[in-house]
Amino acid sequence: MSYKIPMGPYHPALEEPYKLDMICEGETVIDANLHIGFNFRGIEHLAETRNYIQVIALMERVCGICSNIHTLTLCQAMEQLTGLNPPPRAQYIRVVVAELERLHSHVLWAGIAAKLMGFKTMFMTCFELREKVMDVLQAISGNRVNYSMNRIGGVNRDIDDPLAVLAMVEQLEREMVRTVIPIFTTSTTATSRCAGIGVLTREKAISCGVVGPTARASGLPQDLRRAAPYAAYAEMEFDVPVQQSGDVKARLLVRALEIIESCRILRQALTKMPPGELSTGDEKIVFTTGTATSRVEAPRGEVMYSVSWREGSRNPSRVHVRTPTFTNMPAVRWMVRGARLADTPLIQASIDPCYSCTDR
Amino acid sequence: MNLTTALARLLIFPGLLFAVPAAWFFLWVERKTVALMQGRIGPPFMQPFYDFIKLLGKSTPPRNGVGGLLMMMWPLLAVSAAAGAVGLLPVLPSSGGFEGDLILLLALLELPSMCVIAAGFSSRSIFGEIGSAREAALSVSYNVVFLLAIVSIAASQHTFRLEALASAAADRPSSLYWLGVLAILVCLPAKLHINPFSLPNAEQEIYSGPMTEYAGPELAMWELSHGLEWVAATGLVATLAAPHLAAWWLAAMVFVALSFVVVLLLSVTAAATARLQIDTTVRFYWQCTLIFAVLAISSALFMRFKS
């Protein structure tokens, strides 16, 4: 006999405002329905009432984890409408902050995954590391959550001593290689909980249109930093980790390898950072009429902004956001079908969902 | 054992007067150890006691009919059974007891787990029912090893009397005896619902499992019964492993110290592991059963040939 388990609208595991209705038989999940929209804040409408300075501060509040990515994508779109090009140093600083944010997001996700396995000691270890990443971000930007680094045509703050930041990053890398990565890649307790569950085949991944680490774990080598480089990514050497099995373990491995790649990019960006200005366009910013889109590889996958402007207006006429969770979440239904109830929190978490920024 | 000593054992030591503070103390030790291993400060010493008092002061939602009565009854029954089990432990030398009290102890140790299962189903919450089903599957798995262990210990000493078993540790008992104590230790994490066998109350999967619908004084009773289970289960290992001592105060101190060591050992195991799935858990305990059964039979045959 089947029965329905309602998880949410405030999920106990992921602590996010969404609801998953699961139809189960015994401990096996037969089907699942996902409901979102519990945290709608009307940010896109509010953006239409803010000027081009205020809208950056507003869109930074879409997400508490990848706040920099949202302002970066918005600024890139607005730069297309104003014709401004950030100077090379600003492009490098954007790469540094974006990669630190990726480290922050992946370590946070590793902690949440550990918590979902009931491995709270590992959760605490990950969150301790996350604190250290936030310390580096604070040293650069003065802030721990909303970094306020991006502006139209450049960045707001300089990295005065890139080598000092490099020393902090190398210390972080050593700790991650010593603790987090081995536990998630070689520990039998962790891998036994992740191997073979929540499988998303390559074909299903293509038909669902998944992005980011979820796609890369299903054998799709897509990464905007490589396919459509922005900021200074064209000058960086890095690999795009791809796994073929499509299960939770593959998503775990992709993220663990991405942590190493992020450290590699950070090392290059901090050592090769060119001297120069932080921004262009100190004079009055003039927008042209039109719509510009910008895409960026956020820690969870592709973020897209579509910004429309009317010439002479101080406010945007439309700001549309598409977050990676919005494209990844329909795949959860296929992942949890046939899974055991005990595995479902981990499967849901494996796409690294952020329903608060999806709702906006 | 006369009525006075029986009452003294049940109400004073190792019974209620000792067991209730010991339960809070062991709960604190577990929480503090796990916290320290995780790099946290952990709760203050009195926290389990404060939790209990705070829960007692809260009101429970009104529940009518037989269902409400049953839901109120299960935690009380669990507390009584766990307290009775602690009272039966032969901590002090020449504490009396009767032939077959080991079987009563086993029954009393199992009763709280039965109450948890019944409570989950009585609450009519889907999370409670899943938690109860998991608890039942877990109980069926670890209890085979647990019972085999107890029976082999009893068989190695030719008695079902607890006091005789407690004094056996001093007389250089057979390898079968220590094998039994080890098997009991392996079962304790499942009996106490701690990692890696914490699946009946896996918060991230089924909220609080059988306890989801409980609040206020009833939940306080569940917490107390859980603490008493800690005292009874670790105390059982302590009495079986403790050397036989003539002085009662020394025997009591050794009992508390050994129990403390077992609590530390279990807490460290809980902090260092992730939660296993139900089928992995069941497989683990049935494999344990098989290994233990083979070892116990070979040990018994060996003893027979030796004698």
Of B39, B126, B273, the CB nearest to A128: B39
Cα gap A231→A96, rounded to integer Å:
10
User: Residues A160, A288: contact at Cβ < 8 Å?
Assistant: no
All residues at 6 or more sequence positions from B103 whose CB lies less than 8 Å from its CB, including other chains: B160
**pTM of the predicted model, to two decimals?**
0.83
Which helix (H) or strand (E) segment is A107 a member of? helix A88-116
What count of other Cβ atoms lies within 10 Å of the Cβ of residue A72?
27
Of A114, A118, A119, the CB nearest to B202: A118
Chain A contact set for B37 (CB, 8 A): 121
How far apart CA A203 and CA A197 sit, in angstroms, is 17
Residue type, A81: L
pLDDT at B105: 86
CA angle A222, A354, A190 (to 5 degrees): 75
Instruction: Identify any residues that bridge with A309 across adjacent strands, giving them in sequence order.
Output: A290
A312 in contact with chain B, both atoms CB, cutoff 8 A: no
Q: Domain residue spans in chain A?
A: 46-358
Placement of tokens 């000792």 in the chain: B18
Residue of A nearest to B270 (CA): A119
Q: Characterize the bridge pairing of strands A301-309 and A318-322.
A: antiparallel
Q: What is the pLDDT of residue B173?
A: 66
Give the C-alpha separation, A304 to B101, whole Å. Answer: 71
Using the Cα atoms of residue B179, residue B183, residue B184 and residue B188 in order, give the sign of their dihedral: positive
pLDDT of residue B172: 63
Residue of B38, B127, B195 with shortest CB distance to A124: B38
**pLDDT value, residue B46:** 92
Task: Give the C-alpha separation, B307 to B304, whole Å.
Answer: 5
Q: Among B235, B273, B243, B166, which residue's Cα sits nearest to residue B26? A: B235
Q: Which residues of B touch A117 (CB under 8 A)?
A: 274-275
The pLDDT of residue A282 is 67
What ipTM did this prediction achieve? 0.77
- Contact criterion met (CB < 8 Å) for B277 and A13: no
In this prediction, residue B307 carries a pLDDT of 62
B147 CB burial (10 A radius; 0-12, 13-18, 19+): middle
Between the CA atoms of B97, B100, B103 and B107, what dihedral angle is there, to the nearest 10 degrees? -60
In chain B (307 residues long), the average pLDDT of successive 10-residue segments reads 73 80 90 90 92 90 82 91 85 66 86 91 84 88 86 79 74 74 87 82 77 88 91 87 77 86 90 80 84 79 70
Instruction: Determine, for residues B34 and A120 on separate chains, whether the beta-carbon distance falls below 8 Å.
Output: yes
Measure the CA–CA gap between A262 and A270, rounded to whole angstroms.
12
DSSP-derived secondary structure for B207-239: TTGGGTT--HHHHHHHHHHHHHHHHHHHHHHHH
Contacts of B35 (CB under 8 A, 6+ apart): B41, B42, B43
Residue A10 at interface with chain B, using a CB cutoff of 8 Å: no
What is the span of the domain harbouring residue B48? 3-306
**Partners of A291 in the β-ladder:** A308
CB contact at 8 A, B203 and A12: yes
- Return the half-sphere exposure (C-beta side, CA atoms, 13 A cut-off) of residue A115: 18
Report helix angle B101-122 to B65-88, nearest 10.
Answer: 150
Residue from A357, A352, A354 nearest A111 by CA:
A352
Q: In this structure, how many other beta carbons lie within 10 angstroms of the beta carbon of residue B58?
A: 12
Q: Which neighbouring-strand residues pair with A189? A: none
**Alpha carbon distance B80, B83 (integer Å):** 5
Structure tokens at A292: 């510009």
> CA-CA distance, B225 to B83, in Å (whole number)?
8
Given B37, B277, B278, which is nearest A121 (Cβ)?
B37
How high is the pLDDT of residue B97? 65
Is B205's CB within 8 Å of A340's CB? no
Interchain pair B39, A124: CB under 8 A:
yes
Q: How many domains does chain B have?
A: 1
Residues B70/B146, Cβ–Cβ less than 8 Å: no
Task: Indicate the fold that domain A46-358 takes in CATH.
Answer: Cytochrome-c3 Hydrogenase; chain B (1.10.645)
CB contact under 8 A, A121 and B127: no
Contact A110, A126 (CB under 8 A): yes
Are the Cβ atoms of A119 and B280 closer than 8 angstroms? Answer: no
Residuewise pLDDT in 10s, chain A (360 residues):
788 888 777 777 777 778 888 888 877 888 888 888 888 888 888 988 888 889 999 998 888 888 899 999 999 999 888 888 888 889 899 999 999 999 899 888 888 888 888 888 888 888 888 888 898 889 888 888 888 888 888 888 888 888 888 888 888 888 888 887 787 777 777 777 787 888 888 888 889 889 989 999 988 888 888 888 888 888 888 888 888 888 888 888 888 888 888 998 998 898 888 888 888 866 778 888 888 899 999 998 889 999 998 888 888 888 899 888 888 888 888 888 888 877 888 888 888 888 778 888
Q: What's the gap in Å between the CA of A207 and the closest CA on chain B?
A: 29
Q: How far is CA A305 from CA A62, A76, A78, A82, A96, in A?
A: 12, 9, 10, 16, 21
Query: Is the link from the previous residue into B243 a cis peptide, with omega within 30 of 0?
Result: no
Chain B within 8 Å of A190 (Cβ-Cβ)?
yes
R_g of chain B, CA atoms, integer Å: 19
Angstrom distance (rounded) from CA B280 to CA A193: 10
Query: Which residue of chain B has the CA closest to A349?
Result: B204
Contact yes or no for B275 and A117 at CB 8 A: yes
Q: Which amino acid is at A297?
A: E
